[in-house]
């Protein structure tokens, strides 16, 4: 079974750093790009960025470029989302998701269970 298992909920103070993880299993990790999606409280889904675990090529959504860092370690089948200095506006649930592609189409499946990040002084 293809699974993405994310690290647990975090409570941090503004200005602190944070790195959350997304461990893949059930498929060859380097065969599929992994993306990150933000969901702020009571709001919709926002695309943050995507990484190719095979060579760590990364692309970021315009709203997130420079604010977060996406990385991957293929030796442990894990992707990461990192902040160097959290803000209160980073309060959200963060999902990782596997990007699937065939000749004519793309989709996202599966999604991780989500990591709740709470930033509060």
Binding residues for other proteins (CB under 8 A): 35, 37, 44-47, 49-50, 59, 61-62, 95, 97, 104-114
- What is the closest distance, in whole angstroms, from the C-beta atom of residue 114 to other proteins in the complex? 5
- What is the closest distance, in whole angstroms, from the C-beta atom of residue 36 to other proteins in the complex? 10
- What is the closest distance, in whole angstroms, from the C-beta atom of residue 13 to other proteins in the complex? 26
Nearer Cβ to other proteins, position 19 or 43? 43
How many residues are given for the chain?
121
Nearer Cβ to other proteins, position 40 or 121? 40
Nearer Cβ to other proteins, position 62 or 75? 62
């Amino acid at each position: 079974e293809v699974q993405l298992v994310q690290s647990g909920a975090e409570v941090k103070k503004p200005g602190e750093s944070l790195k959350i993880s997304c461990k893949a299993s059930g498929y060859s990790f380097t065969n599929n790009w992994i993306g990150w999606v933000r969901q702020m409280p009571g709001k919709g889904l926002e695309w943050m960025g995507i990484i190719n675990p095979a060579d760590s090529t990364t692309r970021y959504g315009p709203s997130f470029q420079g604010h977060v860092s996406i990385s991957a370690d293929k030796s442990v089948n894990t992707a990461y989302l990192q902040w160097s200095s959290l803000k209160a506006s980073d309060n959200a649930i963060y999902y990782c998701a596997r990007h699937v592609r065939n000749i004519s189409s793309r989709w996202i499946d599966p999604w991780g269970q989500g990591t709740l990040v709470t930033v509060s002084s």
